[in-house]
Structure 1
Amino acid sequence: MNAIQLYARYIGISIRSQMEYRASFAMQTLAHFLLTGIDFVALWALFERFDTIQGWSLYEVCVFYGMISVAFSINDALTRGFDVFPRLLKQGDFDRYLLRPRSTLLQLFGYELRLTRFGRFAQAWIVLLFGLSHLNIALTVPKLALIGWTMCGAVCLFMGLLLLQATFAFWTTESLEIMNTLTYGGIETAQYPLTIYHEWFRKFFTFLVPLGCVNYFPLLLLLNRYNPAHDPAWLYALSPVAGIVFLFAGLLAWHVGLRHYASTGS
């Protein structure tokens, strides 16, 4: 089988195993929907108290919130193997992955497809559509293409972050908690416009970890909040490519870590 067929086989096995206990699956999916819904309630309460934040309305922030949350939910569903990677290292299970005549990345991506993340995915889409409907934005073909392209860049960025987190485990064994500030903390950051943060913080999440490039800048174009006299529209439209570049950097780091792996020694 080629790689795509093998990955499809992995996903099929994962789906069938989760559907063995459908009541449990339904409850976990609903739990994800409700728990992430509480986050939005907190966001709504903030705007109920202050009306706007530095000129940004609730509905505009809903677009930021929804876009980054949809992308993260997709990534969270696909990358379970990298979440558990430190455990695979400690238990010596990763050695079995190396013995198989297939890419270790393919095997880790096929570790599990977490369908329960559909709860978060659905909640994020509801918030996104809620914001767009109140802003009266015409969803033309270019706008829809921009939304899809932006989500693609964000998914790639989060995958790159998880790859780096797993790569560090080759040397640290344990997962570094500081990486969670960039993944789970990053999604909290990107739910709001970058302009509400300090300048050093904005630069960090633009040039080092380009969260702004995969959410803030393209959404300025979507919301018609950019200044065409100073910055051309194509610059904002191309900014999600930073997420793809970051993913390739993560892949290169992974291969470096893999070459330095010396097994558990047990």
Structure 2
Amino acid sequence: MADLAARTAPYRAVLASRMRSQRSYRANFAVDLASSFLVALVELAEVWVVFRSVTSLGGLDLAAVLLVFGLADLTFSLADLAFGHCDTIPTYLRTGTLDVFYLRPQPLLLQLVTSDITLRRIARAAVGLAALVAGLVVNDVPWSVGAVALLALALVSALATFAAMFVWAGGAQFYLVDGAEATNAFVYGGRYAATQPASVWSRPLVVVFGFFFPMAFTAYLPVVTLLGLPGPDWMPGWLGWCAPLAAVWAWALALMTWRAGVRHYQGGGG
């Protein structure tokens, strides 16, 4: 235990300093929290606006979609809090400052993940948590040991899957260099897809966000399994239990991309 504490001390010191620096300007910090909260609230309101016109979407009513939204938004926000600053890799690559990380005797990815933390994303996670709790209350969830286990697995697996998406995007930047918008289409686009019923997706979206980037396994399929609803023909309801396998696949894809990108990198050239 003492050895582990010693190994993680540098990372904890960096994260603590980042958090202190963000809280030191209290007015700015409050504005950041409020703006993040409002953005998340507007996205939640979009769900309500859609169901002002329809009673169900893809076989799910408003209560079920609220549960899907809450599960996806909460886990994505937490993954964004811890891994979202992987978006800074293009800046490091263009300026050559990524080479500084190679001077330290720690794994490159671990250094990058623990190099920063954006506390304003906590406000967004709070909206997701509120939506998830509300969804669990308004839905007729058949509570049992299996249901609790499924919900716990879904939360952990979705968090891991979204975190893997950020790592995958970081690894792809070694080839794209200035292609953050290209990877954002899959990272943030995947987050948006995860908050919607996968049963309304077109075939191309099913391939991309159903299985290659397994966004359907982050919220939609676990909710279908939890509520005992029939899934579409290509995604039966029991697949919700396979969310951990989807997370393993997402991390395998992310680490392969990251490793290939690191090997491809030749330095800043300065």
Q: What is the TM-score of this pair, normalised by structure 1?
A: 0.90
Aligned amino acid, residue 220 of structure 2 = Y
Give the secondary structure class of the aligned counterpart of 1:55. coil
Cα deviation code 1:160-179 (max 9, x no counterpart)? 22222222222222134221
Residue 266 of structure 2 corresponds to residue 262 of structure 1: yes
Q: Give matches, 1:148-227, under 5 Å.
A: 148-226=152-230
Out of 61, 68, 86, the position equivalent to 1:57 is 61
Please give the alpha-carbon distance, in whole angstroms, between the structure 2 residues aligned to 1:232 and 1:217. 8
Counterpart for residue 70 of structure 1: 74
Is the contact between residue 215 and residue 240 of structure 1 (CA under 8 Å) also seen in structure 2? no
Give the corresponding residue for 2:246.
Answer: 242
Aligned residues: 264
- Cα shift readout 1:130-155 (whole Å, capped 9, x = no counterpart): 12211132554433332232122222
Question: 8 Å contact 1:165–1:175 — kept in the other structure?
Answer: no
Deviations 1:34-60 (A, max 9, x none): 111111112101101212224311010
* 1-structure distance, mates of 2:209, 2:31: 35
Structure 2 SS opposite 1:100: coil
Write the distance in 2 (CA, Å) between the matches of 1:3 and 1:233: 43
Q: 1:174 to 1:56 in 2, by over 3 A?
A: same
* CA shift digits 1:205-251 (9 cap, x unpaired): 22211111222222211111148xxx998653133321232113211
Q: Structure 2 regions of 5+ residues with no counterpart? A: none
Q: Partners in 2 of 1:10 and 1:253 — Cα distance?
A: 26
Is the 8 Å Cα contact of residues 64 and 223 (structure 2) preserved in structure 1?
no
Pick the aligned partner of 1:100 from 81, 96, 104. Answer: 104
Deviation at 1:18, TM superposition (A): 1.4
- Cα distance in structure 2, aligned partners of 1:179 and 1:55: 30
AA in 2 matched with 1:204:
V
Task: Say what the alpha-carbon RMSD is for the aligned residues.
Answer: 2.2
Checking the alignment, whether the CA contact within 8 Å between 2:141 and 2:227 is kept in structure 1 is yes
**Matches of 2:30 and 2:223 in 1, distance apart?**
33
Matched position secondary structure for 1:84: helix
Distance 1:214 1:44 in 2: 21
Instruction: Decide whether the 8 Å contact of 1:3 with 1:106 is kept in 2.
Output: no
Q: CA deviation at 1:126?
A: 1.1
Whole-angstrom CA distance in 1 between matches of 2:118 and 2:180: 23
Q: Structure 1, residues 46-88: CA drift from partner, whole Å, max 9, x if none?
A: 1012122243110100011111101110111112431111101
Identity of aligned residues (%): 27
> For 1:109, which of 97, 106, 113 is the aligned residue?
113
SS at match of 2:170: helix
Partners of 1:136 and 1:64 lie apart in 2 by 14
From 14, 29, 44, the equivalent of 1:25 is 29
1:5 aligns with 2:31: no
Query: What is the distance in 2 between the residues matched to 1:145 and 1:42?
Result: 30
Task: State the alpha-carbon separation in 2 of the partners of residues 122 and 101 from structure 1.
Answer: 36
